[in-house]
Structure 1
Amino acid sequence: MDGRVVNATATHTEITDGLAPRGLAGVVVTETALGDVRGREGFYHYRQYSAVELAERRGFEDVWHLMFRGTLPGPAERTAFAAELAPLRRLPEDVRTALPALARSTAASGPLAGLRTALSLLGASAGFRPLYDLDPARRAADALAACAAVPTLLTALHRLGQGLEPVEPREDLPYAANYLYMLTGEEPDPVRARAVERYLISTVDHGFNASTFTARVIASTGADVVACLTGAIGALSGPLHGGAPSRALDTLDAIGTADRIDPWIRERVRAGDRIMGFGHPVYRTEDPRSRMLREIARGFGGPLADFAVEVEERVEAILAELKPGRELHTNVEFYAGVVMELCGLPREMFTPTFCVARVVGWSANVLEQAADSKIIRPAARYVGPTPPQPVPAAG
């Protein structure tokens, strides 16, 4: 590479003067067969399939199979894959016994913070070895085990933090329904389980976002699967990445009633404040995930869904008036919060629920990256004082 990047799509930008755009916005750093986001079209896909269509027509395990093994399973493959996953949901005894103390120590930070430590413990307990030292089959097996354990770890940490006993996973329930069962202790209503499953499918992967890129950078060093996933979770925990669903719902709470929408939004826009749940660094049109989740919310109906739609309409109208020429629409977080609230998930579990899905996408990216032994090692342009300068004598 000669220091410049070809403008591969309308959303990809060139490096100029040897310096990439801030945040590497639009810079193409590798090739992937896992999927892409076409921001100007409002479209994204997993391999060759529309992600939203997959969420409408397939179950979570099917999409997991697609991301890991490259194909959508037929009936026999689906049954075999489910049977392979089910026992991996159970935690080793040494990890189980450590969770109460971990939940107490992370009570103020929440389950996602606890997951970073719990997942590291799981990897150490299972003897996960560096990707660099493993063949592709062993790498995939480690990734499968780590992904399957994440819902069990998160729900156990949450329940322990609430003074409740963890609920053991059930092998007869699909991924999303089992997650809700472990969270609440009750078999979920099928309509709500399917709504959560569609949300999970829609958030499995989304291009080279911050957490996915973090996972791939760590994978490029040859580290083990859990090291890659722990780094990705750290990136996800930032409010500018995965922390927005509950914050978007907080916005609806702060507005409160329909008559307060306009003055509340106008005040925030004029003050230059960010309105959580609106705008996206890639999409220049409506986020297709938001469109799907709006449909799910409207299917449930009720005051919250109706209010969310009214707020969306007024925010977009006010933004068009005060910031003409800018395309600002709801992103996935806005209606994700509404759907999860309607499905009975506690707000402190909104971002962890995102993680329950995205861990599959991270892992698929880790496996893809591990096939390329080149370490990711960019450069920085130094702008500090001119070196070398004499080191002053110690006083």
Structure 2
Amino acid sequence: MSSTVIPPQPGQPESGLITAPPGLAGVAVTDTSIGEVRGLEGFYHYRQYSAVELAEQRTVEDVWHLLFEGELPTADQRAEFMALVVPLRQLPPEVRAALPAIARSSSSPLDGLRTALSLAGSAQHLRPLWDLEEPTRRLDALRICAQVPTLLTALHRLAHGEQPVEPRDDLPYAANYLYMLTGEEPDPMRARAIERYLVSTIDHGFNASTFTARVIASTGADVAACVVGAIGALSGPLHGGAPSRALESLDAIGTPDRIEPWVRARIEAGDRIMGFGHPVYRTEDPRSRMLRATAEEFGGDLVEFAVEVEACVLALLAELKPGRDLHTNVEFYAGVVMELCGLPREMFTPTFASSRVIGWCAHVLEQARERKIIRPGARYAGPPPPRPLPPLA
């Protein structure tokens, strides 16, 4: 859609505003060296590397280093990076003491995370980005990224009457996350499957939560404030809530003989089929391909059923909505993989947040270097001003 320049209006000092399409679709709001999504190609990347190849071959820590430092680490750099971030997993005493009350009063771990992370930022005296040099900003961002998994798993366990599990210094990011969640060291297959999911979701273009984090960062606010705002955006069902909903669709279908009538009825009624369609991709979501392969490594009835449902949905979408380019997205097989790895469904979106915080913080650091507030205009569309005030009743 082409932009439209609004001509100057009488009595209106601001002029020459450009009207963007709804949702800013197709609008580039800044330059970034962190990555991009090429929706027509079905490809996305972190820095100069394919994000899917990174998920298949590298660890969370490697990609974290890539986004923060601009390069994949050598063996020595990896060890140095681990030595830096592992101690940052620990929570301040003030936050530990408040977590039981936060867990009791929150409807979900993601809701509780907003409160807990805001407290963590205050307890650690995080200062506005505007007032900090780059090394201090980076350390604040590393600390927040390291603490989010500790907060999420503690809130989940407390909500279920269990004590939090302390992070282990000898476990890498993904295995430590599962350990803090369940209290048991995960087997390598499950830890690696979750790691692939975490790496594949660390960043994904200028989505709503990432853009929110950058807007807040542009004001010079502290890192915790930026991430709390991003979590608020992620909590919306149109953004981060689909993995469990896609799995609920499989539950509702139930058996293979119900697949075709259930799917057809939903499509004909105009309902959205969770796990299909994407605002950017016009091909199959590359994350979906990778996670389907991961699920198939486990095998079993759930995976076979999901593959059968996927094939039916795609066939019926092609029949009933021709030309719409609706394909499987990341949420469909993400739910299957997390279910196979034993994650509770209420932790699906929080698990997404536990990795996306790394991408948010990389964008926060990049935005802070620009030192310019994001302040778009808006075209007024109400009754024409000025009007005389009505008399007092």
TM-score (norm: length of structure 2): 0.96
Q: CA deviation at 1:16?
A: 3.4
Asked if 1:54 corresponds to 2:42, the answer is: no
1:103/1:161 contact within 8 Å kept: yes
Where 2:297 maps in the other structure, the secondary structure is: helix
Q: CA deviation at 1:266?
A: 1.0
Where 1:99 maps in the other structure, the secondary structure is: helix
1:45/1:51 contact within 8 Å kept: yes
The count of aligned residue pairs is 381
Q: Structure 1 14/46 Cα, relative in aligned 2: closer, same or farther at 3 Å?
A: farther
TM-superposition CA deviations, 1:14-35 (whole Å, max 9, x none): 4235311100011001000000
Instruction: Output the CA distance in 2 between the equivalents of 1:16 and 1:41.
Output: 28
Instruction: State the match for 1:389 in structure 2.
Output: 387
1:15/1:27 contact within 8 Å kept: no
1:242/1:354 contact within 8 Å kept: yes
Instruction: State the match for 1:254 in structure 2.
Output: 252
Q: Which range is displaced more, 192-201 or 383-392?
A: 383-392
Instruction: Output the CA distance in 2 between the equivalents of 1:14 and 1:70.
Output: 34
Where 2:370 maps in the other structure, the secondary structure is: coil
Instruction: Output the CA distance in 2 between the equivalents of 1:354 and 1:16.
Output: 37
Q: CA deviation at 1:391?
A: 1.2
Where 2:45 maps in the other structure, the secondary structure is: strand
Instruction: Output the CA distance in 1 between the equivalents of 2:376 and 2:86.
Output: 40
Instruction: State the match for 1:37 in structure 2.
Output: 37
Where 1:36 maps in the other structure, the secondary structure is: strand
Instruction: State the match for 2:174 in structure 1.
Output: 176
Residue number among 345, 351, 355 corresponding to 1:357 in the alignment: 355
Instruction: Output the CA distance in 1 between the equivalents of 2:383 and 2:47.
Output: 47
Question: Within 5 Å, which residues of 2 pair with 1:1-395?
Answer: 14-17=2-5, 18-106=18-106, 109-395=107-393
Q: CA deviation at 1:250?
A: 0.4
Q: CA deviation at 1:150?
A: 0.3
| Paired residue type of 1:47 | R
Where 1:128 maps in the other structure, the secondary structure is: coil
Q: CA deviation at 1:381?
A: 1.1
Alignment root-mean-square deviation, CA: 0.7
| Paired residue type of 1:69 | E
| Paired residue type of 1:29 | V
Instruction: Output the CA distance in 2 between the equivalents of 1:141 and 1:219.
Output: 15
Structure 1 runs not aligned, ≥5 long: 1-12
Q: CA deviation at 1:326?
A: 1.5
Q: CA deviation at 1:258?
A: 0.9
1:14/1:27 contact within 8 Å kept: no
Instruction: Output the CA distance in 1 between the equivalents of 2:79 and 2:132.
Output: 27
1:120/1:230 contact within 8 Å kept: yes
Instruction: Output the CA distance in 2 between the equivalents of 1:309 and 1:86.
Output: 38
Q: CA deviation at 1:175?
A: 0.2
Instruction: Output the CA distance in 2 between the equivalents of 1:304 and 1:394.
Output: 68
Structure 1 runs of 4+ off > 3 angstroms? none
Instruction: Output the CA distance in 2 between the equivalents of 1:124 and 1:389.
Output: 46
TM-superposition CA deviations, 1:189-229 (whole Å, max 9, x none): 11000000000000000000000000000000000000000
Instruction: Output the CA distance in 2 between the equivalents of 1:308 and 1:383.
Output: 47
Q: Which range is displaced more, 137-146 or 17-26?
A: 17-26
Where 2:392 maps in the other structure, the secondary structure is: coil
TM-superposition CA deviations, 1:332-372 (whole Å, max 9, x none): 00000000000000000000000011000000000000000
Instruction: Output the CA distance in 2 between the equivalents of 1:118 and 1:14.
Output: 43
Where 1:32 maps in the other structure, the secondary structure is: coil
Instruction: Output the CA distance in 2 between the equivalents of 1:59 and 1:375.
Output: 34
Q: CA deviation at 1:394?
A: 2.0
Instruction: Output the CA distance in 2 between the equivalents of 1:312 and 1:125.
Output: 47
1:277/1:333 contact within 8 Å kept: yes
Where 1:371 maps in the other structure, the secondary structure is: helix
| Paired residue type of 1:119 | L
Instruction: Output the CA distance in 2 between the equivalents of 1:289 and 1:378.
Output: 33
Q: CA deviation at 1:138?
A: 0.5
| Paired residue type of 1:177 | A
Instruction: Output the CA distance in 2 between the equivalents of 1:16 and 1:260.
Output: 49
Instruction: Output the CA distance in 2 between the equivalents of 1:86 and 1:228.
Output: 22
Instruction: Output the CA distance in 1 between the equivalents of 2:389 and 2:243.
Output: 50
Instruction: Output the CA distance in 1 between the equivalents of 2:148 and 2:291.
Output: 24
Instruction: Output the CA distance in 1 between the equivalents of 2:372 and 2:123.
Output: 28
Instruction: Output the CA distance in 2 between the equivalents of 1:236 and 1:219.
Output: 17
Q: CA deviation at 1:386?
A: 1.0
Q: Which range is displaced more, 322-331 or 159-168?
A: 322-331
Instruction: State the match for 1:9 in structure 2.
Output: none
Instruction: Output the CA distance in 1 between the equivalents of 2:73 and 2:102.
Output: 38
